[in-house]
Amino acid sequence: MKVKYLKRRLAEVQEKIETHDEDSFVNDDAISEISSVFSAFVTEAQLRLQDINPLGVEDYWLLDVFSVCRMDADFNAAFERICVSTFADFDQLYALSCSFFYRQHIEDPHELTSLDRYREIMGRVVSEDVCERLIAKLRKFGVLR
């Protein structure tokens, strides 16, 4: 299934929902349709993550899907693979890093903190110097405190 098809279907479902009164209850057909479209998105995201071809900036949508579903391991794997394909572009890495901190979730309090997780992942992708420059920029612009 093509991602563009899923996006179009999602837009159609969203349009249907927006035409209803906000205080009304969603009917079973709408819930079923939303579930069907979203399930297809998750399946497509997992298939893309398993694909041996490199992930690039056009694959940012994977981060959205895995974030919403709280699929942290898949989120981290997609984040790392996208970083690997853009590691030579500092500005692109910064934008991707912003996405990491805005979208990531930690379910288990024993998990690494998001900054520790970020350092661990980026340590496999870029030099320590580049990682620290990214963190400094994230702090400068308020993404990190």
- What is the pLDDT confidence band of residue 134, given thresholds at 50, 70 and 90? very high
pLDDT band at 132 (very low <50, low <70, confident <90, very high): very high
Work out the pLDDT band at 18, boundaries 50, 70, 90. low
Beta carbons of 26 and 19 less than 8 angstroms apart: no
- Token pair listed for 145: 């405190």
State the pLDDT confidence band at 44, using cuts at 50, 70 and 90: confident
Q: What is the pTM of this model?
A: 0.73
Of 21-25, 66-70, 90-94, 128-132, the one with minimum mean pLDDT is 21-25
Question: Would you say residue 93 has pLDDT above 90?
Answer: yes
